[in-house]
């Protein structure tokens, strides 16, 4: 094909586009389906591994296409068994992902952007400049790598995926949804959509788009304060997406999908840990069927916030439960390797060098 001059990213092509390429060179359309299966179902990273393709076909693929593989550049294992990975991308940028093991589940926490454009005051990732969005295949590769690590270290399959790593998923909407389609499809990893949770800082118009697209995965909102003044202080995104706007978007989402929302609430000492804060949160929970995850704060370097006292956390939880709200307290995992919630900041040496270029 004369139009193929330089090597193209083969995983950026749809199955239909691959079929057109194979047919145009006089090959059978089912060769495209075989190739596509190798790429997405079998997670092949080398054309030579595609053993049911002829040598000639494999050579054609090698001559004209590349598979931009995401590789594990660094790996740290926490005292509690949590494993943090630094993933090097094909352009040498680095993102981080985490495997969080428990007795009955293996959860992959993955990233959607290199860095982050939001400036949440309590998050280490927010101190990094957003360099670019991740492509769908780069998001997918994080899952494959963490899945393999789960089998290697714990001999257990991956059970859950949370988009709670670096970046704001809804500001990389198309690539995130394309990756989830590959992860959940029978032609891909075939994981259940209900096992996937997308966490957002709150981009109201994109929450409504999720509803219009009838997504089947779970939605979590990083709330952290049910008071506009407090929320805007720690999350500048609230200035354009205030609580009234978010409540409207969440109602729309629930109306369209019937999926219960999770409100994530990092509890900070002497900031959002009082009974009044709990009352405000309980009132906000009236907007949609929801549960609350109270998250233990993980201090970051030179951070202005501190972890709330345990007795205040317990009282906060008890009040919400007295209002009929389902509440879970999420204890931190992987703090000793900076793998806990809000701590992903590319501290390993290779990542620091790459992000400084």
Residues with catalytic annotation?
96, 341
If we measure between CA atoms, which residue out of 168, 258, 248, 249 comes closest to residue 214? 258
Q: Is 55 helix (H, G, I), strand (E, B) or coil?
A: helix
End-to-end CA distance of the chain: 37
List, in sequence order, every beta strand (DSSP E) within the chain: 8-9, 65-66, 71-77, 83-88, 94-101, 106-109, 113-114, 132-133, 160-163, 196-200, 218-222, 261-267, 290-296, 326-330
CB neighbours of residue 175 within 10 Å: 19
3-state helix, strand, coil in the chain (%, to 5): 40, 20, 40
Question: How far is residue 91's CA from residue 33's CA, in Å, rounded to a whole number?
Answer: 28
């Amino acid at each position: 094909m004369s139009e193929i001059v330089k090597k193209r990213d083969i995983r950026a092509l749809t199955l239909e586009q691959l079929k057109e390429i194979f047919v145009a060179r006089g090959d059978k359309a089912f060769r495209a389906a075989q190739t596509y299966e190798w790429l997405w179902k079998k997670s092949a990273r080398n054309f030579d591994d595609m053993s049911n393709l002829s040598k000639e076909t494999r050579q054609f693929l090698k001559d004209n296409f590349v598979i931009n593989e995401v590789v594990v550049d660094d790996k740290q294992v926490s005292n509690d068994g949590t494993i943090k990975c630094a993933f090097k991308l094909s352009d040498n940028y680095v993102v981080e992902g985490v495997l969080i093991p428990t007795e009955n589940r293996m959860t992959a926490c993955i990233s959607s952007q290199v860095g982050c454009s939001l400036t949440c005051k309590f998050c280490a990732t927010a101190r990094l400049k957003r360099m670019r969005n991740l492509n769908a295949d780069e998001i997918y590769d994080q899952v494959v790598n963490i899945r393999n690590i789960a089998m290697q270290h714990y001999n257990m399959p991956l059970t859950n995926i949370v988009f709670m790593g670096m970046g704001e998923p809804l500001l990389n909407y198309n690539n995130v949804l394309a990756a989830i389609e590959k992860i959940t499809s029978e032609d891909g990893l075939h994981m259940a959509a209900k096992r996937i949770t997308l966490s957002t800082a709150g981009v109201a118009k994109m929450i409504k788009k999720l509803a219009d697209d009838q997504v089947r995965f779970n939605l979590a909102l990083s709330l952290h304060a049910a008071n506009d003044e407090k929320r805007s202080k720690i999350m500048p995104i609230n200035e354009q997406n205030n609580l009234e706007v978010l409540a409207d978007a969440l109602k729309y989402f629930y109306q369209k999908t019937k999926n219960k929302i999770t409100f994530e609430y990092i509890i900070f000492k002497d900031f959002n840990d009082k009974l009044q804060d709990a009352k405000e949160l309980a009132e906000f929970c009236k907007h949609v069927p929801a549960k609350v995850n109270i998250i233990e704060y993980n201090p970051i370097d030179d951070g202005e916030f501190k972890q709330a006292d345990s007795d205040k956390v317990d009282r906060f939880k008890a009040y919400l439960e007295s209002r009929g709200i389902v509440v879970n307290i999420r204890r931190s995992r992987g703090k000793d390797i900076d793998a806990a919630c809000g701590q992903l900041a590319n501290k390993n040496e290779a990542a620091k060098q790459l992000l400084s270029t």
